[in-house]
Amino acid sequence: MEGIFKTYPIKDATQKDAVTYVSILFSLAQVDELDQKEDEAIRLLVSENGWSKDIYQDAKAIKSVTIESFNFSPETIRVFGPYLIRDLCAIAHVSRGFSEKEDELIDSVREKLGMSSEVYSLIKVSVQSQLEAVKSWSKVLPA
């Protein structure tokens, strides 16, 4: 998982932007009960981006988040939509793989972002490949 969260399209995200982004990830993780691996992955995302630990706490406290509640501009959606889908897929993979509920939620976010199902499929495959590569590479490196 380490390394996948190092790229984020908005370098100077405000605290509100970051809380919004992370709260969407929490909404996915909680759809089939937040487990320790998902929680750790979300913490890692916050850390990898150099965001305040308060962002994690603030985002976790938000309940019933929906993509519509954030009123993202078309430009914001264009720039960070693929990253959001990528990170949602990564969170879904870290515990027990994609559950049907997680896939449905990510697909609904994809639709609301105006992303094609083909692009979503490509992101899903890319994330799975990247996570498998990270896992394989970690076995090669000396402890």
Q: 75-88, pLDDT tens digit by residue?
A: 777 878 898 899 99
pTM, rounded to two decimals:
0.81
> Looking at 2-16, 55-69, 102-116, which range is the least confident one?
2-16
Give the integer Cα–Cα distance in Å for 74 and 113. Answer: 9
For the chain, list the strands marked E by DSSP. none
pLDDT tens by residue, 5-44: 455 555 556 777 778 888 888 988 888 888 898 899 999 8
CA distance 13 to 19: 10
28 in Cβ contact with 91 (< 8 Å):
yes
> Furthest-apart CA pair in the chain: how many Å?
47
The architecture of the domain spanning 4-138 is Orthogonal Bundle (1.10)
Selected residue with higher pLDDT from 110 and 33: 110
Going by C-alpha positions, the residue among 66, 52, 45 that lies closest to residue 15 is 52
- Please report the pLDDT score of residue 1 as a whole number: 39
Say which DSSP state 67 is in: G
What residues does each domain of the chain span?
4-138
